[in-house]
């Protein structure tokens, strides 16, 4: 897509809103960070609210990326490139969005569990969640019960996400969830788990709210779970 035109051929400022949004989604898909930043600034200048730019242009674009990633049309490097372009637009919107938290889809704390140092899957989930309008606090790898609890206390998220890639570290998810139960705080958070060796049965067995097969499904499940939680 990116090679279809020279930058000079399309003047973003000349496009009407609907075509500009479409072009921004194309640019996001192609990982063109500067163009995404420029489009974001133009829409704001035209009087668009920050949350509308986020939802229609950026999240709309990342949704297409997520679908094509899930369907095997895009691969990890392309998704990382799109996520980087999204970050450019988000940097412009962030100061404006923080004035209205309503624009946020929700907040998530995510980390790879103790004993496990794999993070590619977790990083993809983080990027896709941010692409869907969530605020994500990434704790990194090798996270203990104490690490997770400190982050929950500090950030008060809607969701706790835990990742594991080793069969030997999977059981640690149950250690974290059991401790949440014993401290009477399990009901305060949506708990999502994921990683290559996991499955739905494991997610249910350890007491998670849901198992996420991949980054794209994590976004869908997170939105669903947050909507249910807010409705109740």
DSSP secondary structure letters along the chain: -GGGS-GGG--GGGS-HHHHHHHHHHHHHTT-HHHHHHHHHHHHHTT--HHHIIIIIIIHHHHHHHHHHHTTSS-HHHHHHHHHHHHHHHHHHHHHHTT-GGG--EEEEEEEETT----HHHHHHHHHHHHTTEEEEEEEEEE-HHHHHHHHHHH--SEEEEE--STTTTTHHHHHHHHHHHTT-GGGSEEEEE-TT--HHHHHHHT-SEEESSHHHHHHHHHHHHHHHHH-
Is the pTM of the predicted complex or chain greater than 0.75? no
pLDDT tens for 58-109 read 988 988 998 898 889 998 899 889 989 998 998 998 888 765 555 578 999 9
- Model confidence over 6-39: pLDDT tens digits? 445 789 999 999 999 999 999 999 999 999 999 9
Q: Where in the chain is the domain with CATH 1.10.1240.10?
A: 2-101
Q: What CATH code is assigned to 2-101? A: 1.10.1240.10
CATH of 104-231, one of 3.90.1150.10, 3.40.50.280, 3.30.70.3290, 3.30.1540.10: 3.40.50.280
CATH 3.40.50.280, the chain: domain bounds: 104-231
């Amino acid at each position: 897509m990116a090679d279809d035109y020279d930058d000079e051929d399309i003047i973003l400022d000349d496009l009407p809103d609907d075509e500009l949004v479409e072009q921004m989604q194309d640019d996001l898909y192609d990982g063109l960070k500067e163009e995404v930043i420029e489009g974001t600034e133009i829409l704001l200048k035209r009087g668009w609210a920050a949350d509308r730019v986020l939802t229609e242009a950026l999240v709309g674009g990342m949704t297409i990326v997520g679908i094509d990633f899930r369907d095997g049309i895009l691969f990890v490097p392309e998704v990382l490139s799109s996520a980087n372009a999204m970050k450019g637009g988000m940097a412009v919107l962030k100061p404006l969005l923080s004035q209205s938290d309503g624009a946020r889809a929700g907040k998530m704390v995510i980390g790879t569990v103790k004993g496990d140092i794999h993070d590619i899957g977790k990083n993809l989930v983080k990027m896709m969640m941010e692409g869907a309008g969530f605020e994500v606090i990434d704790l990194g790898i090798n996270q203990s019960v104490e690490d997770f609890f400190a982050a929950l206390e500090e950030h008060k998220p809607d969701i706790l996400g835990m990742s594991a890639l080793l069969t030997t570290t999977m059981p640690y998810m149950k250690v974290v969830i059991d401790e949440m139960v014993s401290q009477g705080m399990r009901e305060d958070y949506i708990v999502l788990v994921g990683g290559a060796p996991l499955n739905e049965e494991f997610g249910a067995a350890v007491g998670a709210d849901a198992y996420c097969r991949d980054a794209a499904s994590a976004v869908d499940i997170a939105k669903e779970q947050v909507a249910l939680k807010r409705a109740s």
